[in-house]
Every structure is written in structure tokens, then in C-alpha cells.
Structure 1
Amino acid sequence: MRVFSAFFLPSFDWIQIEVSGLCNAQCFYCPHTVWRKDWLGANLSLATFKKLLPYFKKTKLVYLQGWGEPLLNPEFFEMVRLAKAQGVKVGFTTNGTLINEDLAEKIVFSKVDVLALSLAGIETNDRLRKGTSLNQVLKAIETINSVKTLKQQNPQIHIAYMLLRSNEYELERLPEFLAEYGIREIIVSLLDFVPSKDLEEECLAPQTEEDFNLLKKRAEKVAEKAKSLGLKMIFNLPSPCSQGRVCSENPIKSLFINSLGMVSPCVFTGIPVKQKTNVYFGNIHQETLKAIWNKQEYKEFREAHLSRAKPPVCATCPKARIELVF
């Protein structure tokens, strides 16, 4: 019996849906900024989103974010409502620029489970993430927490932190800086996807075991400091010595749908841009998600990951070598 016989009726650890491929920021390291002339992102329609509802009952998490700012979609809160009605956990990531008191109330009372806010530095954030503001993010956290005191426990607030060469000197200060804001977790990532050669120097991914061990020790020390302040800090570190791991994007039990309706194994293989190498197995405008998931070529793609024989497009991806440090 083939290993994917159980996949004929899809059940997922998570489905990531790019409800908006538009963005009001220009983070210098993001594909949206680097490839803006060829960008095809749009707002996902509510009608398209509704096609996915039957699958949410067998999904642990629906994550409403891709390469854009999800709050730019005017149907965002209706999408959250529909997803929550299926009994599924819902989360999203935002740059925080649109969150005022009214929007904070909508977020809290929508009963969304997880809210991640993006940062890339303390003093450096506003320069690296043009169009965003550290103060706006902190104000958004404070506003949401003030609304949550009205008997609401969710959303759990996380920080999605991008560690770059330009801001690495601020890393040790981060736990103490954020501890007072009622944040549950800080999730630190390196620049895993480098959309331009000009950005290669910003990537801190270790190339040798010695370099990895040095970065790991540094991360462990910072994570321990965070723990002493009541914060959980998780580092996603690509190791040069971790071949054979299961990809951290979990393509065996998860998938990504971009704002054009294209279905990909993960967010890194589904960027909505012209003339770039992507991996699409179908479009939910033309086929059901079940039909796409059960295509022979998609089964073979997942089977390769299950056997640790990575497909060529994944062979050099840092996400296939992630070691969690916390």
C-alpha cells in the first residue's frame, strides 16, 4: 500500500492562506519589495475563501497571511468569522501599521487565536522595514492588551522577529525591551529566503558546524535571559549539519494557497510573482483542494519529503535544515 492512501481525504496540520498579496510596507529584504515590478499579488476574494471552508474541520490551524498585509483585505474579519465557525484555530501576522483602537477591538472580539507582529530590530526596525514603525507595533500591542482585559484571553501575541546582520547587535537587548508588553513568544528567524544577491550579506545562516555552534550558544543565552523575564524565545536556525530533517514548513501535512488561488507546498514555493521559479500543483479557482492534493505529482512530492529525499526545488532550502533553539 502506498504511504499516502490516508491522504485521499485531506487532513492538515495547517493551511496557510494569503488573504492579501498587497502590502503597505517596503521591507528591504522582502520579495514583495525586491520584485515589486513583477508582483502579481491581490486580495483573495471571499467567494474563493469560502471554497476552502469544508477543509477547515479537519485542520488544526488556519493561518491567514502570506507575502502581504492581511488587514488590507476588506473581507478579512468575515474570513476569520467563517473560519472560527468551523471550529479551527486561526492566526495571522501583521506589520501593525493599521491597528488603531477600533481595529484592535475587532481583532480581539473576532476570537482570533494567534496574532504575530513583525519586527526587525529596535533602533534599526524603521529603517529596515520602511513604512512600518516600532512605536506603532508597541502601541498596537498595548491597545490590544487593553481590550483583552475585558474578559478576553486571545489573541496570544507573538513577535515574528527577523534577525539580520544589520540588526544582530541588538539581539541581546530584545528580551528585556519586549518583556513589559505582555507578549507570549518571540520567534526569531534568519533571512532564509534571499531574493537578491545584494541581500546575501544580510543572511546570518551558518556555513560551518563551528559557526552554527557559536550562533546556537548565543541564541541559547538570549533565550535563557528571555525565560527569566517570563518570555518564550524560539530561534529557527538553519544548520549545515542537519540534512535529513523533516522540512520545518511541513509539506507532508500542510500547504500554502496564495492570493491568486495557486496551491503550493509552502509559502516559499508560492510567491505571486512573474518569471520566478515556483511550485504550483493547481488553482482552487479551477479545481477542488481535494483534487489538487491527490494529484499524482503532488503525492510524489510529499512522498519524497517523507523519505527524506528532497525534491530538487527543496534540496538547498534552509527550511529543510532548521534546528529549533529555545
Structure 2
Amino acid sequence: MNFALPPSERPYPSKLFVEVTTACNLRCAMCVKQSGPGIPDEHMTMSTFQRLVPAFPMLETLLLNGIGEPLLHPRLEAFVQLAKEHLQEKARVGFQTNGTLLTPERARSLLAAGTNIVCLSVDATDPALFQSMREGGETEDVNRAAAALNAARARASSPDFHWGAEIVLTRDTLDELPRVVEWVGERGGAFLLVTHLLPYRQESVPSVAYNPNVDETLAFYREKSREANEQGIDLSRYIEARWRFRPVDNGERTVAFMEKVITEISARGLPQHVPNLVAHDEKQYRRMEELFRRCEELALQHGVELHLPSLSPRNKRRCDFIEEGSAFVAASGTVHPCYFLWHSFTCHADGRIRPVDALSFGSVNETPVLDIWNGPEFSDYRSEIGRYDFPHCGNCSLAPCDYIERHDFEQDCLGNSLTCGSCPWSVGVLQCLR
């Protein structure tokens, strides 16, 4: 094993995300499964899973989930057991689950097989709100699941096993976040992942809680907006004043001030989407800042490892999937580079329609997994991503454009063949178990 090289340059993946099934027993409104792309229900076969074994001895993490509910797979424990026979002693094996099928018996069998991390989907503690987000689920399901995991851990004396939770943060669930932190801590959970919503439907766009402007641009704009307010100028009226939709107090001064701001942002080499900037909701942003501070304090009190997303997209991007040497294997056996390009779907990132096509480098049923990883296509892709030389599509005043609104993506406005300019993971607003 060559640990001297960065994970993306090693001749083997360090993390494998294996989609054991695309089937699910719930109909969560915020899930790509329910967004209409037609992802068929499919269980990964044992023969396909066995083709991943050559990569196991070098793995640090093996996560057995994707679009579906892992506990629906009848051979999940067999997958875990097979993996543990080949993994390093300190390697992690786990999955995320909605918890509805996590009975005491299933929890014991999973720990006995070698599972050492489980993440429960807990989007609210309020029963009605929980049901509205997770159709078919109830808060009592995750309560029972947490109790089952704790009992199985105590019975098996598994000090290396830990569980936690993930919440999808929306404007409707902001007040639930502190309660979920407490819920995890009071039940012995180790961590809480917090991710923003990626809307797969137009009607979900108003539920998005994060600010769409990149952090460095937003920080500069907030500073200038305060200066403008001190001079009696309201920059939120810029669009009206600029295009003279209706008379605006201090209209000419508003236009002059904002256009100077636009020029200064451009001079700093920062991306900007002017309509989003002037629509910035300072009250909402401060509410989010205070909420995150409060949750960090609660997490510290309860001994919970809290992973918060960015309040707004980061200007300095980082693809954790590439940087950490990850590969994603679909239930069918095809190999992909990340969550964003695992399946084909349509989303409404930043309120704009965005078709996304899955990117596959081959199938383990046809080509050995390490040959796919080391093949020129996947290797070159990882190298190119690492340069981060692609635009901030969500923070461009010219967007939406036909470069990213087509399913047959060819290139972005800089000539890159990468589809990463609108990825919400690399800018820190989306997170997942990894």
C-alpha cells in the first residue's frame, strides 16, 4: 500500500460506496428516488459484490448504501461478513438507513457480521413533521432503531461500533435541528450529519435554507450593503431602480452604488449572481448563524460530533469524494466517481432546472474493479477534478445557460468536459455519510 501518495493518486480506492439496492420502503419527498427519473428497483447480486473483493484489502471505509434502503437486501449481513474477511482490521463498514426495518434481531445480526457504523435518517422529532418529510415513516421507528442498536452494542461488547444520524435541513426543519442534536445525544449516538436540501422538484425550491451566493462574494456584499444602508440606500431595490420598473427612492444613487459593488466583486475575481445578491435575506442569514452556534454548543454538551454544512456555497471548492479516493458502485455494478454522477436525474439547484447524467467508467461485471480505477478514463478524471478549474455555475449572472441545461452535456463555458460546475457537494452545502 502506498500511503505516501494522495488517495486520489493511489492505485486503489480508499473508500467504496456500494449501492446494495435501489429499492426503498418509504416515499420521501426530498429523495431522488421519488423525483421521476425512473430508477428501477434492483438488488446487487452476490456475484457482483464478490467482484469488489480485490479492492477490499486497501479500503479504509466501505459504505453499503445508495438510493435505496440497505435493510431491504436479504444478504446485507453476508455482504458485511465477506467484506470483513478481506478488509484491514481498522476499516469501517456501515450504511445509512431509515430505521424502519432495524429490529433488535437485525441489529444483533448486523453487529455480529462486523458492521461498525450505522447512520439513521432523522429529519425531525415532531411526529407530524417527520411524516410529512418521510412518507410511510414515523418517529417511533427511529426511536426503536436507536434502542435496538444500543442493545446490540451492549450485548456484543463492540467498542468500535457507533451510530449517529443525518438530518436534511430545510426552512421547515430549522427549529428541529437543536432537538435532533439532543435526540442523538440523549440516546447515545456519536455523530450528527447535517445537510441542506437538493430540490428535485420545482415546488421544493422555497424550502431550501442556505444562501445561494458563494461565501466570499456574500461577505463582501454584506459589508457593502451595510455601508449603503448607512447612506439611506437599499440595495435590494437595485433591479427595480436599474430597469425602472417603478420609481425608487434614491434610484440613481442605488444604481451607482450597486454597480460599483459589482465592479469591485469582478475585480476580486469572485463569481456573482446579481439578482441573488440583491435578494440576500440578512435576517434569515443571521438566524442560521445563531442556530448553528446554538447547535454547536448543544453538541458539545451532549458529546455529539456535529458536522454542519456551509451557510452558503464555498468559493474554494473541495471534492471530498475525489480527495479521499472514493469510488461509487451502483447496484448493477457500474462504477462512478461521486454521489452527484451516480444516477441520472433532474434537480433544481439554485432554483434552476439542471439535468444530470450519470457518469460511468465501466462495470465490475465486465472489467476488474482495480482496472477500472487505474484506467486512463477514471485516472484522468480524478486528476482533472483536482485542479478545480471549472466555473461556479450557480453564481453566474448569465445562468441558466444551454451549457448546463442540456442532458447531453458536452462542455462548460470554460471548455471543460466536467459537469462539476454546479455540484452542490464540492461547495459544502450537501453532506453524506462518508
- When normalised by structure 2's length, the TM-score is 0.68
Question: Letter of the aligned partner of 1:94 in structure 2?
Answer: T
Displacement of 1:147: 2.2
Instruction: Mark the CA change 1:252 to 1:187 in structure 2 (over 3 Å): closer, same or farther.
Output: closer
- Give structure 1 stretches of 5+ with no counterpart: none
Match of 1:75 in 2: 75
C-alpha contact 1:100 1:140 (8 A) present in aligned 2: yes
What is the correspondence of 1:186-225 to structure 2 with a 5 Å cutoff? 186-191=192-197, 193-208=198-213, 209=218, 214=286, 215-225=288-298
Match of 2:111 in 1: 108
1:234 aligns with 2:237: no
C-alpha contact 1:258 1:272 (8 A) present in aligned 2: no
Match of 1:175 in 2: 181
The structure carrying a bigger strand percent of its residues is 1
CA distance in structure 2 between the aligned counterparts of 1:92 and 1:271, rounded to whole angstroms: 19
Match of 2:349 in 1: none
- 2:165 maps to which of 128, 140, 159: 159
1:280 aligns with 2:344: no
- 1:134 maps to which of 108, 124, 139: 139
Displacement of 1:6: 9.1
CA distance in structure 2 between the aligned counterparts of 1:177 and 1:128, rounded to whole angstroms: 18
Instruction: Mark the CA change 1:10 to 1:134 in structure 2 (over 3 Å): closer, same or farther.
Output: farther
1:66 aligns with 2:66: yes
Displacement of 1:246: 1.6
Instruction: Mark the CA change 1:102 to 1:6 in structure 2 (over 3 Å): closer, same or farther.
Output: closer
C-alpha contact 1:41 1:273 (8 A) present in aligned 2: no
Match of 2:253 in 1: none
C-alpha contact 2:184 2:190 (8 A) present in aligned 1: no
Displacement of 1:47: 0.5
Larger Rg: 2
Displacement of 1:140: 1.1
C-alpha contact 2:12 2:373 (8 A) present in aligned 1: no
Instruction: Mark the CA change 1:146 to 1:252 in structure 2 (over 3 Å): closer, same or farther.
Output: closer
Question: Letter of the aligned partner of 1:33 in structure 2?
Answer: Q
6-15 or 221-230, which moves further after superposition? 6-15
String of CA shifts for 1:175-231, please: whole Å, max 9, x gaps. 23332201001111111x322222212222212335696334431321112211222
Displacement of 1:155: 2.6
Displacement of 1:299: 2.2
C-alpha contact 1:15 1:62 (8 A) present in aligned 2: yes
String of CA shifts for 1:224-262, please: whole Å, max 9, x gaps. 12211222211122633x233221333661111111111
CA distance in structure 2 between the aligned counterparts of 1:163 and 1:112, rounded to whole angstroms: 27
CA distance in structure 1 between the aligned counterparts of 2:183 and 2:60, rounded to whole angstroms: 32
C-alpha contact 2:343 2:358 (8 A) present in aligned 1: yes
What is the correspondence of 1:136-151 to structure 2 with a 5 Å cutoff? 136-150=141-155, 151=157
1:246 aligns with 2:249: no
CA distance in structure 2 between the aligned counterparts of 1:158 and 1:5, rounded to whole angstroms: 28
String of CA shifts for 1:59-80, please: whole Å, max 9, x gaps. 1001000010011111111000
Match of 1:292, SS?
A: helix
What is the correspondence of 1:256-295 to structure 2 with a 5 Å cutoff? 256-271=328-343, 277-295=357-375
- Give structure 2 stretches of 5+ with no counterpart: 223-281, 347-354, 391-416
Match of 1:15 in 2: 16
Match of 2:164, SS?
A: strand
CA distance in structure 1 between the aligned counterparts of 2:365 and 2:40, rounded to whole angstroms: 16
Instruction: Mark the CA change 1:194 to 1:323 in structure 2 (over 3 Å): closer, same or farther.
Output: closer
Displacement of 1:146: 1.5
Match of 1:125, SS?
A: helix
C-alpha contact 2:20 2:43 (8 A) present in aligned 1: yes
Match of 2:276 in 1: none
Displacement of 1:276: 5.4
CA distance in structure 2 between the aligned counterparts of 1:254 and 1:133, rounded to whole angstroms: 33
What is the correspondence of 1:26-105 to structure 2 with a 5 Å cutoff? 26-35=27-36, 38-87=38-87, 88-105=91-108
CA distance in structure 2 between the aligned counterparts of 1:72 and 1:59, rounded to whole angstroms: 25
1:314 aligns with 2:317: no
Over 4 Å off, 4+ runs: 4-9, 210-213, 272-276
C-alpha contact 2:16 2:59 (8 A) present in aligned 1: yes
String of CA shifts for 1:110-146, please: whole Å, max 9, x gaps. 2211100111112111221111221111111112212
- Count, aligned residues: 319
User: Identity of paired residues, percent?
Assistant: 24
